[in-house]
Amino acid sequence: MKKNKYTKIMKILLVVFLFSVTLFATSSKSYIETKIEIIDTPDVKAKDPVDWLLMFYMSGDIDWELHVIDSINELESGYTPGNVDVALMIDRHPGYDQSADNWSDTRYYHLAPGDDPMEIESEFIQSLGEKNMGNAINLRYFVTWAMDAYNADKTALFIFGHGGGLSGIGYDYSSNYKQMTLNEVQQAMFGFQIDLFAAEACGMGMLEIAYEMRTFTDYYLGNQRPMRIEALDYKAMIEELCANPLMEPWELGEVICQTYIDHNPYPAYEMYALINTSCLPELMTKLDYLSTNLSSMSTEYLEHLSDIREFMYYDDDHSTPDIQSMIDEIRIGFLGNTSLLQALDEFETEYHKAIVYKVQGKYASDSSGLGLFFPRDSTKIGKFTEYVGLTSDTVLEGLDFLADSLWDEFLSIYLASAEIIVYTPWVYRGISLNTEYQVDVVRGTLNVYGYYIIEPGIYNFTLSNIINEPSLIVENAESSKAVISGVVWSDNINPEVSSVEHISCWLETGVIYIVVESLTETSNGTLYVTKSTPIAIEVDQKSTGEFPYALGYIPPSSVYYFYIVDLIAGKYTIEIDIDWPVGLEVYMINGNGDFILEYLMGISGLDFQYNYTATFQQELIIGFCSYTGTGNFTFTIKIVNGTTSSTSISAFFVLPAA
């Protein structure tokens, strides 16, 4: 029997509350600010409807603020006015990005053409002050304003920001890291019907999420994987839409998917899928049929299912396997169960109907479009305890999927029988500096090497003579803090660029793991570790270089430029001038190994500048890289107020691009 849902009366009352001056807590206790401001937006004269209205809700008050400005610049550079209108709500952070006048309030814009990669050239409509983009009432205000101001036959909504899967979307750092829950997004959009909704955020490709969005959109775009910082190709997308404004919503969805994958010269784990939400109710019916069959299995079979669960493909989240992989593994494990096989077949048929279009990178072929919460055992539930009825009043409160599906009841039965797996720490082989090690690795296994960093410094990890396609990762061992940022990697470049993988980074004292796995059936190579001494540059000497291609998932990238300079006491300006707005990561370490700047990231329209005061004679090490793209740079350390410096040998250390 289905569980009770919110009644129609409650939803009507909710709409009334949303437009009241004061909003009292509903029975669901959903977080939408208790005091609602009435925003006085300027009137925009209505005109004849255009073909498309695109609405961008850009939660840029995060560490990826740089991508907000880049996305707007892409839209401006590809936009041709006429048959497409674009409304934008943009929030920024006061610290991460200094370009485009470095404002930090929340604003409405109307897109206009432009070609300056450092400035916003669109039509400024209004400043709203500082708004919490994690409060869904602001999403409702924005959509209401945009749809009242700009008439269009078809509409699309894009939400940019950090995604947390079942936790929600649109985190706002200046508002205590608040995000919109899935139910809050649905509430905010109650009464609207849009043609296409695209979530440009990590981990939003789940059946539970798509089902929640079905109430207000015909098509949903989500990603099972982490998204690159340089994600959707808005320039290519809007160029195609402006050239063909009569395209249907599903056609625009396909364009968004295809331009996303084409935007990356080395698509690896990227994927994006277009979902027809009208197919989801029938898919849920078939999921109930499957859930009933699984729930009726004996304890012995449920334990067998937990063994099978271990082999299901998951996308970055061990609790959420890919649906097609789940179907395939259960089918293989229960070939003699005719009722279960029939339920799987019917569920699979409806699942394929729901997936309209998808794109996949080279190593994302197992990402079929949507994932489904299915933790391996009770220790993998994480914070989603309400999913299986253990708690209430969490980020899942009000989720339609839990009200309409029997899947959560099955999970409660399954988790009571699933054997808890205790994962043992990696067994690793100790290695030494300046020694070559032959690496032979099979897909699905890891070769783990350990190294003890005795002396802080710059260490190079190289995998050369590569056959096929391994990945190389360096990370901290348990309780170690040798790698300041936790993990560095050099995945998925081979063999498109070269037969060498490089990682170069500053390491503190501690134990690190060097992990090699195969992205193909087998891979081979030669691993060796060296320690580098950055060669010095002089004050006021200009050094130039080019950033290699960066994957752009999470910093730091695998290739750094390291410089060292000998300074006497005085004031200095450290400058990194760039010819394209890349995302920079900068380390600064004094001769004692103390961090002056640690893991500084950002994009600076005025280039990177840092004022440094040396209170005594010292050496200063500067390491930097781009984690979002290529471009040229000029690096200089300048004297301020007549300070003089001792002279050192002029050179610099550079790792080749992997």
Q: Which amino acid is present at 493?
A: I
Average of pLDDT values for 365-394?
88
Confidence (pLDDT) at 647: 33
Backbone angles phi, psi at 578, to 5 degrees: -120, 150
Higher pLDDT, 383 or 658: 383
Higher pLDDT, 322 or 559: 322
Backbone angles phi, psi at 311, to 5 degrees: -95, 0
Residue 559 has pLDDT above 60, yes or no: no
DSSP class of 388: G
For 584-626, the pLDDT digits (tens) are 778 888 877 777 765 555 554 557 778 888 888 999 999 887 7
- The closest alpha carbon to 64, from 222, 224, 184, 231, belongs to 231
Place of tokens 């404002």: 103
Backbone angles phi, psi at 125, to 5 degrees: -100, -50
Confidence (pLDDT) at 492: 45
Average of pLDDT values for 448-464?
90
Share of the chain above pLDDT 90, in %: 52
Reported confidence tier of residue 7, pLDDT bands at 50, 70, 90: very low
Average of pLDDT values for 175-202?
96
Confidence (pLDDT) at 388: 87
Confidence (pLDDT) at 606: 59
Share of the chain above pLDDT 70, in %: 82
Confidence (pLDDT) at 444: 78
Q: Does the domain formed by 543-654 have CATH 3.40.718.10?
A: no
Average of pLDDT values for 59-68?
82
How many C-beta neighbours within 10 Å does residue 547 have?
Answer: 24
Q: Does the domain formed by 429-532 have CATH 2.60.120.380?
A: yes
Distance, in Å, from the CA atom of 462 to the CA atom of 226, rounded to the nearest integer, reads 26
Considering the domain 48-277 in this protein, what is its CATH number? 3.40.50.11970
Domains in the chain: boundaries? 48-277, 281-354+368-417, 429-532, 543-654
Higher pLDDT, 27 or 304: 304
Reported confidence tier of residue 653, pLDDT bands at 50, 70, 90: very low
- The closest alpha carbon to 449, from 466, 432, 464, belongs to 432
Average of pLDDT values for 235-252?
98
Of 2-16, 309-323, 418-432, 483-497, minimum mean pLDDT range = 2-16
DSSP class of 52: E
Residue 38 has pLDDT above 50, yes or no: no
Buried b (16+ CB within 10 A) or exposed e, 218-250: bbbbbbbbbbbbbbbbbbbbbbbbbeebebebb
For 87-96, the pLDDT digits (tens) are 999 999 887 7
Residue 44 has pLDDT above 70, yes or no: no
Domains 48-277 and 429-532 share a fold: no
Mean pLDDT of the chain: 83
Confidence (pLDDT) at 42: 53
Residue 553 has pLDDT above 70, yes or no: no
Reported confidence tier of residue 642, pLDDT bands at 50, 70, 90: low
Residue 315 has pLDDT above 80, yes or no: no
Confidence (pLDDT) at 370: 98
Average of pLDDT values for 559-588?
84
Distance, in Å, from the CA atom of 653 to the CA atom of 534, rounded to the nearest integer, reads 5
Of 68-77, 261-270, 455-464, minimum mean pLDDT range = 261-270
Average of pLDDT values for 106-114?
97
H helices present in 334-461, as ranges: 338-354, 400-404, 407-417
Confidence (pLDDT) at 32: 47
Residue 342 has pLDDT above 60, yes or no: yes
Residue 34 has pLDDT above 90, yes or no: no
- The angle that helices 65-78 and 234-243 make with each other, rounded to 10 degrees, is 30
Give the sheet arrangement for strand 194-200, strand by strand.
123-127, 106-110, 84-92, 50-60, 152-160, 194-200, 217-222, 271-276, 355-360
Of 275-279, 310-314, 414-418, 627-631, minimum mean pLDDT range = 627-631
Confidence (pLDDT) at 95: 74
Residue 655 has pLDDT above 70, yes or no: no
Confidence (pLDDT) at 504: 81
